Amino acid sequence: MLETWGLESHVEAVYRGMLTDPGLGVVESGERLGLEEAAVRDALDQLVDLGLLRDSREVKGGLRPVSLQVGVEVILRRQEEELASRQQQLARSRAAAAAAVAEYASLRPNTEVDGAERLVGLDAIQDRLEVLASQLTSECWSITPGGAQSPASRAASRPLDEDALRRGIRMRTVYQDSVRNDPETLAYTRWLTEEGGQVRTSPVLPSRLLVFDRSVAVVPIDPANSRAGALCTRSPGIVASLISLFEQTWRSAVPLGADRSKSDETGLTCSERELLKLLASGLTDEAAGKRLGVSLRTVRRQMSALMERLNASSRFEAGLKAAQRGWL
């Protein structure tokens, strides 16, 4: 049951045993649970680190288990703190990456200076991606926002992905949750996983990103203006910032096959929660739809359903009630 909060089975077993009989020693716990002494000691160390075991006030040097209700709150609070920390790191990485990209935006098109090249035009970008893909030796990571991918985009990516996977290149890709609603893009992501790639999704993503062998990165110079082109860089500082951005995004995403139905006790899906946050921050329906990779019609349909659930007659009232319920 507690595996949901990250506890391994043997750790949960030891915790349950101590709740039942707090006086059990290491040897007795092992015998009762069928665990080796080393496994019991490992479980005790993890339970102390998690705050589920605390110093006993009755037995000197002994430990006492906290109640399940308190223990769950301790775990959830720690996870919330870790999530907040990751979000702060992600924000810093985004800012660093944006500043670095802006610094190189003035490069002349399709010329390389100090390990950075500004690529203008789809042909120039595709040519560079083909060269980089052919030179891959170990891994390729990508963030692909925008929801459903166009047939042209999939057609351009497939031969590169197919060749890389055939050569044993490890591939990790993050799409937006909304690709789950597009049969053709979903079929492509499933093909990727069947061929050995790893795919995850997230409601909201930063701008498009490709990282080759942890040494070369390609990003749009201006995500809002595709005509500005892309930046291909080997600068260690910029690449390191973009790697950090990808890792943060990957950790917060979920595997393609995971259930994305209801996110928590509120009954909200992850997309619904993100939609509320985006609209509460002042974004228009259209802007929120672009961030989520969904159509304006979908945004308005989701918001209408949320207002009905909140029994709200206006967007303003819906925002107040959502905040009161802890949805924001």
Question: Nearest CA to 246 among 282, 281, 312, 198?
Answer: 198
CATH of the domain at 291: 1.10.10.10
Tell me, yes or no, whether 263 lies in a domain. Answer: no
Do 9 and 139 belong to one domain?
Answer: no
Do 92 and 12 belong to one domain?
Answer: no
Do 93 and 240 belong to one domain?
Answer: yes
Among residues 203, 229, 255, the one where a domain terminates is 255
pLDDT at position 209: 93
> For residue 32, how many other CB atoms are within 10 A of its CB?
15
pLDDT at position 213: 95
pLDDT at residue 25 is higher than 60: yes
CATH of the domain at 158: 3.30.870.10
pLDDT at residue 199 is higher than 70: yes
pLDDT band at 215 (very low <50, low <70, confident <90, very high): very high
**CA–CA dist 263, 150 (Å, integer):** 29
Do 196 and 290 belong to one domain?
Answer: no
**CA–CA dist 45, 265 (Å, integer):** 30
pLDDT at position 180: 81
Tell me, yes or no, whether 264 lies in a domain. Answer: no
Among residues 255, 282, 311, the one where a domain terminates is 255
Do 229 and 116 belong to one domain?
Answer: yes
pLDDT at residue 221 is higher than 80: yes
Number of compact structural domains in the chain: 3
**CA–CA dist 165, 188 (Å, integer):** 14
Average pLDDT rounded to a whole number, residues 280-304: 77
pLDDT at residue 101 is higher than 70: no
Do 131 and 244 belong to one domain?
Answer: yes
Tell me, yes or no, whether 167 lies in a domain. Answer: yes
Residues 318 and 300: beta-carbon distance below 8 Å: no
If one compares 315 and 178, the residue with the highest pLDDT of the two is: 178
Do 127 and 190 belong to one domain?
Answer: yes
Do 138 and 236 belong to one domain?
Answer: yes
Tell me, yes or no, whether 301 lies in a domain. Answer: yes
Tell me, yes or no, whether 319 lies in a domain. Answer: yes
Do 100 and 181 belong to one domain?
Answer: yes
Do 174 and 279 belong to one domain?
Answer: no
Segment 239-252, tens digit of pLDDT = 998 999 999 889 88
Among residues 255, 283, 304, the one where a domain terminates is 255
According to the 3-state scheme, what is the secondary structure of 55-74?
Answer: ECCCCCCCEEECCHHHHHHH
Length of the chain: 328
Pairing of the two strands 170-176 and 198-202: parallel
Do 207 and 122 belong to one domain?
Answer: yes
**CA–CA dist 30, 285 (Å, integer):** 58
Tell me, yes or no, whether 113 lies in a domain. Answer: yes
Tell me, yes or no, whether 76 lies in a domain. Answer: no
* Mean pLDDT, the chain, integer: 79
Question: Nearest CA to 271 among 176, 145, 149?
Answer: 176
**pTM (whole model) above 0.75:** no
Segment 31-78, tens digit of pLDDT = 777 788 788 788 788 777 777 777 766 666 677 777 766 766 777 777
Do 180 and 316 belong to one domain?
Answer: no
Tell me, yes or no, whether 240 lies in a domain. Answer: yes
What domain range includes position 232?
Answer: 81-255
Q: In the Cβ-directed half-sphere of 26, how many Cα atoms lie within 13 Å?
A: 11
Segment 129-153, tens digit of pLDDT = 998 999 999 999 999 988 788 888 8
pLDDT at position 243: 92
